[in-house]
Amino acid sequence: MTPKKILHIQLLPLLSGVQNVMLTLLDGLDREEFEIHVACRPHGPLVEALKQRGISYLPLPLFVRELSGLDIPVFFRLWHLCRKHKFDIVHTHSSKPGFLGRIAARLARVPLIIHTGHGAPFYDLQPLRVQKFYMRLELFAGLFCDRMVFVNNYHRNFYLRHKLLKASKALTIYNALNPSLQERLVQLPLKEKKRGETVIIGSVLRFTRAKNIVMTIIAAIRVCHARRDVKFIFAGDGELYELCSKMIKTNRLQERILLPGWQDDAEACLKEFDVYLLYSDYEGQPLGIIEAMYAGIPVASSNLPVLAELVNKSNGWLIPRGQLDRLEAELHKIIDDPESYYEKGKAGRKKAEELCSHEKFLAGYLSLYRGEKP
């Protein structure tokens, strides 16, 4: 049997959530059934990860995140790659690769085109004209793919409600973890804390505006000034890292609010946390929360609808978004309620196993790749 040739299109050569979800999928594919290629910007840990796996890498050196005149040559580069390699399947990831890649693949007459959104390019904190602009782009790009995968039900329902996509093209496949990581995380002991013991609250995240990291740091500073029985660890990097670091140094809290930088070993970080905190303004479906749930760590998150599909009062705390005083107050309540961590962590692990299993994740994508009817 001749393997099906499949091209995955990414933008950044990083190893953050979107790229790790793709790698988890690629690791589960039978190389006798699929010949795998990945296109993205050159240089970076994703490119090294592809090389280690023996996966064909196709560079897109002009690809940038912002809207740019460079998008035109990138588009023609994608079209040329599709024509040259005669791919059976093109699978795009995230907004900009999804827009350019879907159109280029269809014009190159690729038989099967799949797009995974990993969220949406529009959200309610944007100016209305910006939201409408991106919605029109998504409506147009949706004409050029066969199926669109959503990583949560909220965004799928939004697209259908606003008629951005035909219902026959839309489905939800929740993100999942690499099976070996998942197995290690479920072996971690559930947290048992007593009142008065130091509580460690942390997360692994990108220091970006979407993650609302500045407000999160301000709340952590306030809580640390008010009490001594808490410590925060925020592992990651990004454009707001230096600002956050300066805020912590100004308040002389470097020993209680730690910013260790980007960590490739999420498992090591999770072993330290008693509570996982992610107070985002916008999300698709963060792997960090799924990892925390498998590790049996209760999760405190903003009350975004996409996060409420993972977090509820049985396995964590949903905190109204964008309210600094409310976040600070809720953190005090969480620290004062350590006896709840064990049961919440247990419930979170069970929910992760039901909702975000690797078996369902892989079966969902394989069904698409094989052209099976839903």
Domain ranges of the chain: 4-176+357-369, 180-355
Please state the CATH superfamily assignment of the domain spanning residues 180-355 in this structure. Glycogen Phosphorylase B; (3.40.50.2000)
Cα 312 from Cα 304, distance rounded (Å): 11
Looking at residue 266, what is its pLDDT? 82
Instruction: For residue 21, name the pLDDT band (cuts at 50, 70, 90).
Output: very high
The dihedral built from the CA positions of residue 141, 143, 147 and 153, taken in this order, carries a sign that is positive
| Residue with the two structure tokens 């048992």 | 192
Report pLDDT for 374.
61
Inter-residue contact 139 to 38 (CB < 8 Å): no
Q: Where are the alpha helices (DSSP H) in the chain?
A: 17-27, 45-52, 71-85, 95-107, 128-141, 153-161, 179-186, 213-226, 241-250, 266-272, 287-294, 305-308, 324-335, 341-355, 358-369
Percent of the chain surpassing pLDDT 90: 93
pLDDT in tens, 205-242: 999 999 999 999 999 999 999 999 999 999 999 999 99
Mean pLDDT of 180-204: 95
> Comparing 4-176+357-369 with 180-355, is the CATH topology the same?
yes
Residue 23 has pLDDT above 70, yes or no: yes
CA–CA distance, 225 with 243 (Å, rounded to integer): 19
**pLDDT, tens digit, 9 for 90 and up, residues 308-336:** 999 999 999 999 999 999 999 999 999 99
CA 374 – CA 371 distance, rounded (Å) = 9
pLDDT, the chain, mean? 96
According to the model, what pLDDT value does residue 372 have?
Answer: 86
Chain Cα centroid distance, residue 340: 27
Integer Cα distance of 10 and 302 in angstroms: 28
Does the pLDDT at position 1 exceed 80? Answer: no
pTM of the model: 0.94
Give me the count of residues in the chain: 374
Fold designation for 4-176+357-369: Rossmann fold (3.40.50)
**Alpha-carbon distance 125 to 316, whole Å?**
25
Helix/strand/coil for 195: coil
Q: What is the pLDDT of residues 237-269, one digit of tens each?
A: 999 999 999 999 999 999 999 999 988 788 899
